[in-house]
Structure formats: C-alpha cells, structure tokens
Chain A
Amino acid sequence: MKKRKAKAPKHDLIRKTNRFPQFAKRATSLILCIGIILSFSSCWSRRELNTLAIVLATAFDTTTQPEMLQVTAQVVKPGQIKASSSASGGEATQKAYTNIKSIDKSVISAYAKITRMNNRTMYFSHNRIIILSRELAEKGISEEVDSFTRNNETRLNVYLLVSEGKASDILNEEFDLESIPANHIAEMIENQKINSETAITTLRDFDIAMLSDSTTPLVPIIKIYETDGKNDAKLEGTAVFKDGKMIGEFNVSQTRGLLWVTGKAHQGVETVQTDWGQVDLRFSHSQGSFKIVKNEDGSTGIRIKIDARGCIDSNATEEDISTVQNLEKLEKKAEEYIRGDVEDAIKQAKALSADVFGFGEAIRRDYPKDWEKMKGNWDKEFLMLEPEIEITVSLTCTGGIGKPIVPGGAE
C-alpha cells in the first residue's frame, strides 16, 4: 500500500496546486514582478549625478591653531567644462571648478562639516591627487593616509604630493592648457615617466612602504614658481618620510639617482659636457636594479647594476661624435654623470638615515635570517653599507643624422 502512494507523487502535487486559485497565483506573480522591478531600479540610497560634488583633488593644510586641519576639496562644475571649451576666445567664462574649504579637528570631521555648507555631497571615487602641505607632512600624515585607504569610495591609485607652501594654493593656480588644476597636475605626474626625475607615488605605494620595517615612503614635491608675472606649479624633488613624518628631501638629481637604483628609471635625458661642448643623450629601455650579495666574511653588501641605453639627441659641438671612438668617450662621460647622481642619492639617504631604496626590505626578502639580526639597529647598519655600483652605458644610435650641422660642414 505504501509503495503505491509513493509511486504517484507527481499526481499528488498537481492536485495540490489546483487547489490554489488561479487568480491568486497571478496576483502573487504580479506583485513579485512589481517588487523586482522596483528593487532593480536600486533607488534605495540613490545618489543622482546632480546631487554629487565630484572631488578631483584634495589638499590638506595646517592652520594657525595647532590641533586644527584645513581640508580643501576641488570639486568639478560639470556645466562649466562644456561652456569653457565651446566659448570662443575673449569671452569671460566661469571657472570649471570650485575649491571648498573646511577646517576642523580631523579629516573626517572637516568633510562632515562641508555638508553643512553645500547642497551636494562629496563623492571621492574620482579623486586623482592628494596634496599635503610640507608643514603638515612634517607633523605627520598617518591620519590622512589611513582615512583615505579605509574609505570605500576612495581608490588606492590616487597620487600623493607634498607642496612647498600651502597645499590649497596649488589647487588655486590657473593653468593655461587645462581648465581644472587637478587634471593638470594628475596628467603632469603621469608624464613624468618620460624623464624619470620624479618619484611617482600612489597611495598603495605609500601604504606598502609605510608598513615596511625599513623602507621610507617617498612623495614628490610640488612647488609654485613665477614666470612672466604669473604663478605656475612644477614638480621638483622628493620628500622623504620616516615614521609617518617628513624628515627631509631629495633634490632633482638625487631623485634621478634614486630612481636609477630602484629600477624605476627607464627613460630620461642627460646633458653631458664633453671636451668639445655640450651633447644631449636620451635614454630609453634602460634598467636599473640592486641585489643583495653575501661577502666572504658573512656580512651583506649591495650591488647596484645600471644598464642605460640611449641615443644622441642633440649635438651642440662641431665634433662628429658618431664615430666609434667618440661614442666610447661619450659613454664614459655619461656613466660618470649617472654614477654622480647615484652616489649623491646614497649620500643624501645616509645623511637623512633613511632607507629610501628599500635595501632593508630586500635583505628581509632574500636573507630573512640575517634580517632578524640586523632589524634592531638597521639605522646604524644602513649607514655602514657601501654599495658597489656597476654602470654600463650603451649608445646605440645617433638620431636622424650622423654628423653635426655646423657651418661649412659639407664636404
């Protein structure tokens, strides 16, 4: 008996569903459909474009009161971008951005305050740069870095900068080629790969260096300079951080040396003074690296290896430097220049007692047991390191012409 019943479960099921009135079934599915449509529109906590203040850059400054912090957010005015690009010359157009300032005890509370001054809410997903004033950097920027890493709107690939002077001033600068300063600066940073004189740093790089026992984070410095009675901003040098505070800086040539060692310099220009005059070299596809080596007595040493490849980019002399002998001389000369930069960088790093290259981190990775011993007094150990520097320069081409263009050069 039992078996028979079990054989016809389908039949049972059909009878059951028939008992459920047809219209009720339809009503339920209709309600469900409406429910699904309503939820797919995702307007629970909707934020329409016209209620957002899209932040493109953020600047942090100290204020006259020591415990207060000034936050400047550069917010884009979408309507004005179009207006300013379509308006023909001579017409006075409004700026395509506005800088919103707020002062409070912390980053988050300063932002919270902004909502009491504006009709739009801040939206950070498109934030491209964070500028910190030097004064603030010297006091410590752990809070700023933490809050920007923690927030779920901000991104880790935002560029960090330290400004000489007030950070908010940089965001106030008018630039001729770009209507929004934030975009101008962000694109300028992206262009730096061409000449390898700026240590480009994203929030991720900063966080990673900060988490390390030994490596010191680096941030490029931006400053305002005056040309033709007008202010402009430029990138120059690198700020060195230790324990979350800025402790010193690298100038341009030291920064270049630093980038050679850390393998971040691939392209660049070197102006070389030769016996005959001035020659410009352009490097591309170059590579630098360093390796930890074990000396015979068991101590660890560093071997820096730089392989620079390049072409002659200009020749201001009357000498035909495209001959093999002259090229060799030129390569020697270029090598001296690079060595000078690298040695300068190492000297400055030791002066600041800051492991900007990540030597300690490399020892930790390759010789973890040695690192355990050195970790305690790495500051001292770092000063004792005497890296070997091995540089090869190969000039492979002379550009479109061989001989220089000089009066009467033709035979």
Chain B
Amino acid sequence: MKLENGHVSERALMFSVFCFMQGTMLRAAFIVAITKNDSWAMAFTGLVFSLLLIVIYVALFRRYPQKNLFEINESIFGPIFGKLISVLYLFFFLSLAALNTHDLGDFVVGHMMPGTPLTAVILLFMLVCVYAIRKGIENLLRLSTVLAIIGVGAVVINSGLILKDVQINFLKPLFQLPLEKYIQGTVTITAIPMGEIVAFAMIVPMLDKNKSAGKALAKGLVLSAIFLAFIMLRDIVTLGPLITIVGLPSYESVRYINVAGVLTRMESIYAIILISLFMFKVGILLYASVLGLAQLLNFKSYPPLIRICGASIFFYALIVFEAVMENVDWGATTAPFFSLTFEFALPTFSLVAAVIKKAVTPQEAEG
C-alpha cells in the first residue's frame, strides 16, 4: 500500500532541506545568546554532528529502501510496538509544526502588526500551508529551488548594502568563551534547526530508487551551514555586542540599512522571505504528520487528514506558549533535549534494533 505516488529529484530534495532550515536560521538569536561573537563557527561544528545524524538515517534507509520512517518503524518493531514509536514521532512533528507556527505568529505580531491578534495571523498562515499540501507535496518541493534562490539573493543583496556600516573588529576576540559554551552551542544548533531534518525521512521514499538520499540531505545541510555562518557573520559585524540583546539579530541588521537615504526599510523584504520559508517548513512538517497519521490509521489516502492536522496544529500553536519569554526559555533549556530524543535517540535505537533483528533472523529481515 503506497500513500504517496509523487516523485522528487535529488536537487529539489537538496534545496528543500536548505529552505527547511533557513526559516529557523534567519532567527538565530537562540544560538547567539550562548556563543556570542563566535556563533558563526557553531554552524560548522553543528554540521559535523548533523552529518553523523544523517549517517544514522541513511543506514536505516538502506536497510529498508522505499519506505518512510513510519513504515520502517513497523518493519523493525512489528505492528503494535512500531505504531507506538510512530505515535511518538507524530507527536514530535506536530509539536515542531506548532512551535514554528507560533514563532511565525510572534514575529508578525511582535515586529510587523502589533495590533493584530495572534489567532488571525496563525489561522491565515495555516490555511496557506493546508492549501499547499492539498495541492501536493511534489509542488511544494519543487518550489524550494525558487525559494532558495530568492532567499539567498535577498540575504546577499542586504549584506552588500550593509557593508559600509560593518566593523570586522566585532568578531574578535575569537574563541575565548569557556569550552562548555561551545558544546552547548553545538548541541543546540544540531538539535534545533539541523536535526529537524528527520522530518525528511517521510519524504525520502519519493526519491527515485537509484538516487542517494544521503547525498541530497548532506548537500542540503552543507549549503545551509555555509549560509547560516554567513548570516551570523553579517549580523555580528553589523551589531557587535548589541547582537546578544536584540530579539531578532537579522531583522535588526537589515533595519540598519540606509544607502543614500533611498534604500532603507529593507526589513519588509526580509519579513516576506522569512514568512515564505516558514510556510515551506511548516508545510513539510504538516505533510510528515499527515502522512504519518494516515499510515497509523491505515487510511487509503492522506488528503482527508490534511485539514484535521492543520486544525490541530493551529490550536496547538495557540496554546503552546503564552509569552515570548517562555519561548526563549524553552529554546535555551528544554528544546535541545526534547528534539534530540527524536532526532538522535529514537533513530539510533531503531538502527540498533534493526541490526540485532537481522543478526537473529538473517533470512527474514527483508520481508
């Protein structure tokens, strides 16, 4: 029984990973609070650990080709226990979608439209996401190339315009913080934007049989890491020590642009791109939860569940945090452990179980 008949090219998958991550990366405050002016380096240390995660995922994909995460769970743990684990993943995807939706709402209400209630913003946003997934995940994935080009283009242009106001000195002193800060930074960046790539385990089976999922995911991650480092470098040299106290460093540095009194107020461009990237990210997470839910309930097709999942994400996003401060506190203290449970612990557990299972019953493993 196959729920999804779409196809995705390797390149589209790579750009999807890139776009998926940019949404979070443009709001890098949570990482800057930890490692300050060395945050850009965390993009690379985080990358190393995220590539390790990909190795785990790819090992799973290799053992169970053409199967998505939920199907793999059932193959390894059997119908009942496998479904139990899948429910955990479903909870994770829904939570991530809700958290990101809430972040978007906070951004729009906090910086662009202070008078509009959060509910209205989130509702409209969810409608767009639901619409996008109803029209097919394939289209959304193909859109990623365009979105990535626009996103990169805007950031590069914005960085060019701010060039006259930067001070390279703000990068110094290099690497003077205590070691545990760097470890904390690496863990955070691995867990929060990069490890969330686990949602793509629901999409990978759409790739053609002979194509390598690991390569596409890794390439996407490397691109994101380079880009993230670039954004953080720009924010650090623009804002200096101010970066640690502003809520949205990228937003503030784009706001500072003023070329000849004409090219100013560029933050609206930043806002549009951020919102599109968020749409992409929540769209992917919504798709992952919808497909997972359809699988859990043994549905023949998944579209009827899209609106239900969308609605639950909407209400989840409304109640998840009451204040921005709670959100920040969650991001700094709890989120890495919460995320790593699903991004690292559970997949590793699955992989170990799969290896043991194969060793015990060598003939039936592929059945």
Contacts and interface: CB of A to CB of B under 8 A. Distances in A.
Instruction: State whether these chains interact.
Output: yes
Contact of B113 (A5, A42, A125, A368): A42
Given A13-B301, A365-B169, A365-B172, A211 B115 contact: no
A125 B265 CA distance: 9
Kindly name the residue among A9, A44, A156, A211 whose own CB sees the greatest number of chain B CB atoms within 10 A: A156
B115 A157 contact: no
Contact of A211 (B245, B256, B258): B245
B300 A12 contact: yes
A208 B114 contact: no
Contacts of B300: 5-6, 9, 12
17 contacts: A12-B301, A13-B301, A39-B124, A44-B115, A44-B120, A45-B115, A125-B265, A152-B110, A155-B255, A156-B242, A156-B255, A157-B256, A204-B256, A207-B242, A211-B242, A211-B245, A365-B169
Contacts of A212: 241
A5 B1 CA distance: 10
Contacts, number: 55
Given A12-B300, A44-B120, A156-B255, A368 B173 contact: yes
Contacts of B120: 39, 44
Contacts of B113: 42, 44-45
Contacts of B115: 44-45
Interface in A13-45: 13, 39, 42, 44-45
A152 B116 contact: no
Given A9-B301, A13-B303, A157-B256, 4 more contacts: A12-B301, A44-B115, A204-B256, A364-B173
A351 B173 CA distance: 29
Contacts of A208: 239-242
Interface residues of B, number: 27
B120 to A, nearest CB: 7
A366 interface: yes
Contact of A156 (B111, B117, B176, B252): B252
Kindly name the residue among A5, A42, A44 whose own CB sees the greatest number of chain B CB atoms within 10 A: A44
A338 B139 CA distance: 66
A156 B176 CA distance: 28
A365 B173 contact: yes
* Interface majority SS (helix, strand, loop, mixed), chain A: helix
Contacts of B255: 155-156
A208 B242 CA distance: 6
A67 to B, nearest CB: 27
Interface string B117-156: 1001000100000000000000000000000000000000
Interface of B: 1, 110-111, 113-117, 120, 124, 169, 172-173, 176, 239-242, 245, 252, 255-256, 258, 265, 300-301, 303
A44 B255 CA distance: 24
B111 A152 contact: yes
* Interface bin, chain A: 20 to 34
Contacts of A12: 300-301
Contacts of A6: 1, 300
Contacts of A155: 255-256
A152 B114 CA distance: 9
Nearest to A5: B300
Nearest to A44: B116
Contacts of A207: 242
A156 B264 CA distance: 12
Given A12-B300, A157-B258, A208-B241, A368 B114 contact: no
Kindly name the residue among B115, B117, B241, B301 whose own CB sees the greatest number of chain A CB atoms within 10 A: B241
Interface string A351-383: 000000000001011101000000000000000
A39 B256 CA distance: 30
B182 to A, nearest CB: 15
Contacts of A368: 173, 176
Contacts of B172: 365-366
A212 B37 CA distance: 14
Interface string A144-159: 0000000010011100
A207 B256 CA distance: 13
B286 to A, nearest CB: 18
Contacts of B173: 364-366, 368
B111 to A, nearest CB: 5
